[in-house]
Each structure stands twice: as C-alpha cells, then as structure tokens.
Amino acid sequence: MRDFARRFFASDIWWSYKSSPLVVVASIITAIIIFSSVFATYVAPYNPFDLTQFDLMDSLKPPVWMADGTSKFLLGTDDQGRDVLSTILYGSRVSLLVGFFSVIFAMIIGIVVGLVAGYSGGWVDAVLMRVADVQLSFPAILIALLVDGVARGLLPKNSHDELAVYVLIVAIALSFWVQYARTVRSSTMVERTKEYVQAAQVIGLPQPLILFRHILPNVMGPVLVIATIQLALAVITEATLSFLGVGVPPTSPSLGTLIRVGNDYLFSGEWWITVFPGVALVILVLAVNILGDWLRDALNPKLR
Amino acid sequence: MSLLKIEGMRVEFPSRRGSIVATKDVNLELAAGEILGIVGESGAGKSTIANAILDLLDPPGIMPKGKIFLEGERIDGLSLDEMRKIRGRRIGMIFQDPLTSLNPLQTIEEQLVETIVTHLDVSVARALERAIEMLDKVGIPDPAIRIKHYPHQFSGGMRQRVVIALSLCADPDVILADEPTTALDVSIQAQILDLMRKLVKETGVGMIIITHDMGVISDICDRVMVMYRGDVVEVGTTQKILGNPDHPYTKSLISAVPRPDKRIDRFPLVEYIEEAGVAHKSIDVKTHWLGKSRDFDNSKSEFLVSVKNLEMRFRTVNSIFPSKRKYLRAVDDVSFDIRAGEVFGLVGESGSGKSTVARMISGIYTPHAGNIFFDGADLTALSSRKAVNHYRRQMQMIFQDPFSSLNGRMRVADIVAEPIKFHKLASSNAEVKSIVNDLLDHVGLGAIAAKKFPHEFSGGQRQRISIARALATRPRFLICDEPTSALDVSIQAQVLNLLKDLQEELSLTMLFISHDLPVIRQVCDRVAVMRDGKLVEVADSEDLFKNPQSDYAKHLLDLMPRLVSA
C-alpha cells in the first residue's frame, strides 16, 4: 500500500494534477459538492422535507446579509419557509444521482453502438446510424417523456414515486446515447485503418477483443469531454422533466425543480430562491467540465 | 555578402525534465544560386533550423542564442508583422507532403494569385499572368487550363510542382525545402530534383534542402552540412562529404546506406547509432521457447506459400445494378510461389498493389478471386475461425509505420504478451513474462522496455517491438511490409541486420515488400516486380539486378540513386 502511494505520488498523473491550480480547485469543489450532498442529512442545517421542521411564518426570508435576513437561514427561505441552503444540499443529491447514472448509462450504449457501427461498416453501420439519426430528429425531452409515459403505464401505480428516479435515468440515457455513438463511430473509423488494428487482426484476435481492448482506449478522449458536458445537460433535462410533472415527486425536489419553482418569484423580488440553486448548478457543471478536460489529457500517455 | 547567414544558433525546448537542446551552435552561410543540403537523421535538428529561421518554432521552442541575417539584415527577434513580410515574400518554403500543403478547397489559381497579390504590389490580372508563367516554369503542361483545377486533380509529383511554383511566385531570395521529395516515388523524385536545380540556377535564389536521404544530396546539392544530435559535425562540398568524409559520423552514415551495386553479407555496425551500444543478450534458439516445440510440421512441400491468380478489386462507383458498378483493380491476376526458407521480395512504386497482396495473404483483406496456399492448404477455402487461426498463427506481419502499428495505450509488455496469451502458447503468467523479456532482449531492446509505453521509443526501437510481437506467435512465415522505409538509414541497417539474423536462426520464410531497390538487393533471394497491380517480372535477386528482362525493371534500376557523384 505504501509502495502504491509512493508510485502514485511519483506518477505523471499526479504531477500533471498538482501543476495545474485550476484542476486542483475544480476537484476540491467537486469533492465538496459530492460530499455535502451525500451527507446532506448531517451537513444541512435543516431537513427541508420534514414537515415538522419548517414554519410558514419563516417564508420568503432573504439571505443573512440583507436587511431582513436572519442568521437562522444563511441563504434565505423559499415560499414555504424552507431553508434554501438545505434544499440545495438535498436537491443536488437527486441531481447528481440522475446526472451521473444517466451519463454512464448513455455512454455504455453509445460506445457499444458506435464501436460496432464504425468497425463493421456496410449495412450494420447504415442501420445503426439511421436509428441514431431518427432519434436525433426528436428533441431529447420528447423521447424522455415517451419513455417516462411507457414506464408509468407498465409499472404498478404505488411504486411510481420510488421508481421515479430510475425511470428518469433510463429516459435521459436513452435520449442521450446518440452523441456518444456518433463520436465513437467516427473516431473508430479512423482508428480502424491504423496498423495496430491490422496487427491485432493478423494475430487472429476476435472482433470484440479488438474493439474493446485496442480501439476503445484510443477513442475515449472525446467521449470523456462529451460526458462532462452531458452531465450538465442531464441535470437540466431532469429539471425540465420534473417541472413537467413526470420527474421526481415534489416532496423530494431536485436542483432543477428548485430553479423552476424559484423562477416564479424572480420578478417579485425574491431572487435568492432561484439564483442560489442556479449558481450551485453552474459551479458543479463547470468543475466537472474542467476535471473531464484534464482527465482526457492526463490519460493520454503521449501527452505526459 | 552571403544571402543568408546564421551565427551560433541554439534552440531549446523547455519541458518538465529539463530543457531539450535541439540545436547547439549552428553556423551557416548560403550564397545566391547555391543549394546547401542539411543532412542528418531524425532528431538531429535539421527541421528546427528551418523553423527557427522563419520564427515558426513549435511551442515551447525558444532560441536563446544566435543571430540570423538575411542579406546582412538581422531577422531574428522581428515583430510578428515584420516577420510576416519576410515569410513567403523573401523566404519561401516547400514542405514534405504535397497532399497537405495545398488547400483542397481552393483552385490552384486562387492560391497562387492570393500569394502573389499579398506579397507583390500588382493587380489581380497581372498576378494571374505571373501565376500562369510560374506554372509553365515548373513544367506543368497547359498552365492556362490547369490553373483552374483543384489540387486533387493533380498527381503527387504535379502537386509538388505546384507547391514549388507557390514558393517561387513571390520572387523570394531564399527557399527552404524540408524533405521535398520524401513522399514521392523514385521516378518522380528525380524529375522534381532536376526541376529544383534548374530553377535555382536560373533565378539565382539560394536554397536549403533538408533531407535524410544521401541520394537526394548527391543529386542536387553544391554543399552539404551534416548534423548529429543538434551539432554540426561537418560542412563541405558534396563531392568531399560523399567521397572522402572526415568525421566518423559521416563515414558511418554513408556506410549504412544500402549499396545498389553489390550484395553484402551484413551492414557494417557503426558507432554513433542510438542502439548500437545496447548489449544484445542472445538466447539459444535451439533450447529456448522461441525455437522449440513447433506444433506444426516443418516444410512438407517445397513452396511454403503459393499465390494463384490473385485478384483484388475496390469498388469505386456503387450502384444497385451490378453492371453499373465500377471497380479499381488493385491486384490483377498475380501468381507466385515462395520457397520455404527464402526471402522473397516484392518491389514496385506506390499504388502498384504490393501491400494489397501482403494484406490478402495475411488475411486482412479477402481476395476477390484466386487462391492462397499455405503449406499446401488453401486458405481461401477455409471457413471456420479455428482452422484459420491455426494458419494465422504461423504467419505474422511487420508493418511500415512504427508510429501507428503499436497501440499507444498499451504497455510494451502487454503488446508482446497478447499473441502468446491469445494462442495459449505458454502455461502460466510467469512464463509469459519471462518469454516477453527474452523476446525483447533478443530483438535488442532489453527487458526494461517491457514497462514502458510505445511513445517512449524511437522509430527504430518501435520497429523492434513490432518484430518481437510478430515473433511471439512462433511464426514460420513473416511478411514485412516496408519495414524500414520510415526509419533513418543507420537504424534501417540495424533493423535489416536483425531481420536477417532472425531469419537464419529461426529458418523463417519471409515476404519482404519495399519500394527501395538497394534494400531489396541486400535482403532478398528472389524478387517479383509489380506495376499497376500486375506482376511484371519474377527473378533471382542477383539476376534481376545484373540482367533485368522487362523494360519496367530496367527503368526502375536506372532511377536507383547512386551515391558517389560522378
């Protein structure tokens, strides 16, 4: 273990990490956000979804540094008297869960389809890519709505709320895989003609082995970058779906729902209800994006 | 006064582990109407000089020391704007690859006229006239019509002529040519070199040619500067350098060039070569894994590989009606036999179909028609994966481009171990490891190489890794597709020696593909000449070189560069 730690601190990845202050800051921020949302029960001052803990009398209190603010609620309260800081912490739980898992799920589908289409060419490629094109011509929201509607029809009614998050993940993943598939396909078509792939063919390796052991690591660069951008999109799509009433139940709102709800109060002066969740979302997305960009370069042995 | 003068140029590339010094203390002078060759192997700093002159060093390159004078005027450290007036206008550039140095979306006219109007104070109509004049000068027929064409409508050699016209059109004082003929076939190379020499003498510009090819130097240069790892080791007239060099590095460089005139047993081992010092721990192949327990019978028949009426077509125009489809015949009715234990050469210019033949034999392409027999079995008739793999294992391939033939994301140990593991040629992981180490040792890399990634190695070392990987299936038949054409001459000599040794030790049969006749002569026992997909001549190697039968073979032999200038 100590040996491993020593090797890690001597490695180029660690060197490239610590020599970029931006990446260090981004990773610390991401870690803080993930930590505080996972342990929201302990970190947050209140549990905003426990009806006994909030009071309508506290509603629409501004943040602490404004004239009417109280130190009870650092970032103010919403229309029902819930602490905004606590709702953000609890809300980013749902957002992160949906964001990460839908991205991973979409990535897996997209990579497999892209690799197979790019490597096989011919009619396999044609069929898979036309499917992708058809899907691309519908807005992601529409597909997610469709998946959600189908799921609601199939699942028993009383389990809707529990399963809502999983349905969301599947719905978002199924509408996002096309991006990965297209990118992976075009990189695969380039890699396929390189001689290391021919060398693998001459050795006699079967196609799946060539695809996953040889080509996949060489096409991952752009995929990681798309993934970080998609993470943001997934969080936003989840917000939209929740706003339309097909996402997570209002009793455990996500970051996106908070922004939507706060929107109504934006023009009546209570800006903090929507701005703080928005800022949290922007910081999260930016930090993950910087990390993804760095990871792409750090994992490339040539750029070390 | 000299046209271009460089004093004490030093170029550095700072990096994590200290600065890399690309050139140490370069001094050079170029007179008008003179062609100076800069020769050296990759990494010697040749191209760095050209880039530094134009202030186009790749970041993070810097020039901490040195002065550059153009007609007595200092040009290093000029502002971006002032430098832009010198690039193209007073110093022209010719790049290596004519495929990428022209904009494919613009006609030749647009590119030439734009350049002329930018640099010279003339009207568009006058610029067009000048452009046509230039095209005529570089030997493009019907220049007034051809100027309307796009780059893809020209062949490689014609395109390089256009690039030359482009570099000359602003009437520069100096032309820097970086490997101007490396991407071209021999016959076209000769024409382009002639043209460049003629133009330099006519217009009186000074030209610096950067090349790794001694043949180019001997054809065109007045003076030569030899570089080794950033140092200038020798400067002199072409005759002096090629005929009677002083410096041992120059001598070794010249001795490593394959001789076209006679066959020698081995290339001389020379000092000054990156890998010459590596201790070559050889293994006794009689007892080692590599040599023992071949689970296939050795040489049942006289011919190990036979190819009968092989044909390969690539579809160029597709249609739902089979009769409307158009094909390009890359390989057309090719038949030959390779005897067990011999080295069979396949020679031809680019596009002659030699690589396609190799890829069909190794199973990467499926032939359109014809049969391939390996040890008596018809490979084209086999359908089950298992049966095919049995034969695949017995033939391996070494590829041309050492930079793309190794998976950059895998460690060398994994690359070499993969075929052993896949074909289950070793019983345990520990055995695989020791075999991999032995193999790497045997090809002259040393077992330390196993832990590294391919990009940490030079071209020649990567080619050794490729060879180790090919040997890892214990093949009987090795296909070498231009294995040394991407390598420096000294490295090429080392790799060819290694292949020769391995061939003898393991009694391998080899198919050796090359466009380089001297190399073919040094390596092959029998040779087949290909042109436009057809076999032109098959003969014993010595017979072919002494007494070629077909006109095409004679033509190729005539174009062979001779080192010692007459």
SS (H, E, C) chain A: CHHHHHHHHHCHHHHHHHCCHHHHHHHHHHHHHHHHHHCHHHHCCCCCCCHHHCCHHHCCCCCCCCCCCCCCCCCCECCCCCEHHHHHHHHHHHHHHHHHHHHHHHHHHHHHHHHHHHHHCHHHHHHHHHHHHHHHCCCHHHHHHHHHHHHHHHCCHHHHHHHHHHHHHHHHHHHHHHHHHHHHHHHHHHHHCCHHHHHHHHHCCCHHHHHHHHHHHHHHHHHHHHHHHHHHHHHHHHHHHHHCCCCCCCCCCCHHHHHHHHHCCHHHCCCHHHHHHHHHHHHHHHHHHHHHHHHHHHCCHHHC
Going by C-alpha positions, the residue among B340, B341, B335, B336 that lies closest to residue B303 is B340
Instruction: With cut-offs at 50, 70 and 90, classify the pLDDT of residue A302.
Output: low
Mean pLDDT (whole number) for A84-88: 86
Report in angstroms the alpha-carbon separations of A259 from A88, A95, A185, A236. Answer: 10, 12, 36, 10
Identify the top-confidence range among A288-292, A299-303, B537-541.
B537-541
Low-confidence ranges of chain B (pLDDT < 70): 1, 16-17, 269-287, 291-301, 561-566
Beta bridge partners of A40: none
Contacts of A196 in chain B (CB under 8 A): 404-407
- Comparing alpha-carbon positions, the chain A residue that sits nearest to B363 is A202
Q: Burial level of A6, CB count in 10 A (0-12/13-18/19+)?
A: exposed
Those residues whose C-beta lies under 8 Å from the C-beta of residue B158, and which sit 6 or more positions away, are B140
pLDDT at A125: 93
The backbone torsions φ and ψ at residue A134, rounded to the nearest 5 degrees and listed phi first, read -60, -45
Testing the interface with B: which of A119, A123, A201, A202 to mutate, by most B Cβ within 10 A? A202
Residue A296 token pair: 């792409």
Q: How far apart are CA B447 and CA B470, in angstroms?
A: 17
pLDDT at A77 over 60: yes
pLDDT at B276: 44
The backbone torsions φ and ψ at residue B562, rounded to the nearest 5 degrees and listed phi first, read -105, 135
Testing the interface with B: which of A191, A192, A194, A203 to mutate, by most B Cβ within 10 A? A203
pLDDT at B254: 84
Radius of gyration of chain A (CA): 23
Q: How far apart are CA A258 and CA B330, in angstroms?
A: 65
Can you tell me whether residue B500 is helix, strand or coil?
Answer: helix
Of residues A15, A203, A302, nearest to B473 (C-beta): A203
Contacts of A204 in chain B (CB under 8 A): 388-389, 392-393, 419, 422-423
Going by C-alpha positions, the residue among B231, B186, B176 that lies closest to residue B41 is B231
Q: How far apart are CA A193 and CA A207, in angstroms?
A: 14
Residue B188 token pair: 């076209």
Interchain CB contact of B393 with A (< 8 Å): yes
What is the crossing angle of helices B459-471 and B429-442, to 10°?
130
C-alpha A17: how far from its chain's center? 22
Chain segment B145-190, per-residue pLDDT in tens:
899 999 888 888 888 889 988 888 888 999 999 888 877 777 788 8
Instruction: With cut-offs at 50, 70 and 90, classify the pLDDT of residue A260.
Output: confident
Those residues whose C-beta lies under 8 Å from the C-beta of residue B556, and which sit 6 or more positions away, are B186, B187, B347, B349, B517, B529
Of residues B404, B423, B473, nearest to A196 (C-beta): B404
Contacts of B385 in chain A (CB under 8 A): 206
pLDDT at B294: 55
Judge: A218–B407 Cβ closer than 8 Å, yes or no.
Answer: yes
Task: Work out the number of other CB atoms within 10 angstroms of the CB of residue B161.
Answer: 24
Q: How far apart are CA B14 and CA B173, in angstroms?
A: 32
Q: By a Cβ cutoff of 8 Å, what residues of chain A touch chain B?
A: 15, 194-196, 198-206, 209, 213-214, 217-218, 301-302
DSSP B524-549: -SEEEEEETTEEEEEEEHHHHHHS--
pLDDT at B314: 81
Maximum distance among all Cα pairs of chain A, rounded to whole angstroms: 76
Can you tell me whether residue B401 is helix, strand or coil?
Answer: coil
Interchain CB contact of B418 with A (< 8 Å): yes
Interchain CB contact of B404 with A (< 8 Å): yes
Mean pLDDT (whole number) for A60-87: 79
pLDDT at A142: 85
Mean predicted lDDT score pLDDT of chain A? 84
Residue B365 in contact with residue B310, Cβ under 8 Å?
no
Contacts of A213 in chain B (CB under 8 A): 410
Of residues B16, B393, B469, nearest to A204 (C-beta): B393
Q: Which amino acid is at B56?
A: L
Can you tell me whether residue B408 is helix, strand or coil?
Answer: coil
Mean pLDDT (whole number) for A121-131: 91
Q: How far apart are CA B444 and CA B452, in angstroms?
A: 15
Chain segment A175-221, per-residue pLDDT in tens:
889 999 999 999 999 999 888 999 998 888 888 999 999 999 889 88
Judge: A196–B385 Cβ closer than 8 Å, yes or no.
Answer: no
pLDDT at A72 over 80: no
pLDDT at B30: 92
Those residues whose C-beta lies under 8 Å from the C-beta of residue B137, and which sit 6 or more positions away, are B165, B168, B199
